[in-house]
């Protein structure tokens, strides 16, 4: 890693530091786009690297911000934001439902469904399809 003590006359190390920081910012942008990090966390980490490496001292905050902006605005996130994901009943919950249907009382099943309010509508739908379908 380089520090702020690099001389301005040493053009190659300075250019190398900027290229290294550019790659670092792109890595954090990829972490954001792939859903590994939230955007604010990824940007803060890139900023911290710029400070630790001395890029802010050498190039100034505006240059560092420009590199981060370029890295984070190239493409939208690959995954949708978590609050926009639709809820889906997990397969183990479906398996537990069928176990309760076949092995437990109606009262037990009713209480079990009360504890799974997000799953109950979907489970009712699949129960209707299976149990109320005409026999072949």
Residue 6 lies in a domain: no
pLDDT tens, position by position, for the chain (136 residues)?
A: 444 444 444 445 566 788 888 888 888 888 888 878 888 888 888 888 888 888 888 888 888 888 888 888 865 666 555 555 678 889 999 999 999 999 999 999 999 999 999 999 999 999 888 877 676 6
The two three-digit tokens of residue 125, written as one number: 């739908």
Residue 2 lies in a domain: no
Residue 105: partners with Cβ closer than 8 Å, 6 or more residues away:
none
> CA-CA distance, 38 to 29, in Å (whole number)?
10
Q: Which domain holds residue 101?
A: 91-131
Angle at 23 between CA 62 and CA 51, to 5 degrees: 45
Would the pTM count as exceeding 0.85? no
Q: Domain check: are 110 and 69 in the same one?
A: no
Residue 38 lies in a domain: yes
């Amino acid at each position: 890693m380089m520090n702020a003590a690099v001389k301005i006359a040493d053009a190659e190390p300075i250019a190398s530091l900027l290229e290294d920081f550019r790659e670092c910012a792109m890595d954090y942008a990829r972490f954001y786009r792939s859903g590994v990090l939230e955007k604010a966390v990824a940007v803060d980490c890139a900023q911290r690297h710029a400070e630790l490496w001395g890029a802010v001292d050498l190039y100034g905050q505006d240059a560092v911000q420009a590199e981060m902006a370029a890295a984070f605005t190239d493409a939208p996130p690959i995954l949708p934001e978590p609050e926009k994901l639709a809820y889906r009943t997990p397969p183990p919950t479906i398996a537990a439902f069928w176990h309760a249907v076949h092995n437990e009382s109606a009262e037990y099943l009713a209480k079990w469904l009360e504890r799974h309010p997000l799953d109950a509508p979907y489970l009712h739908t699949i129960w209707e399809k299976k149990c109320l379908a005409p026999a072949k």
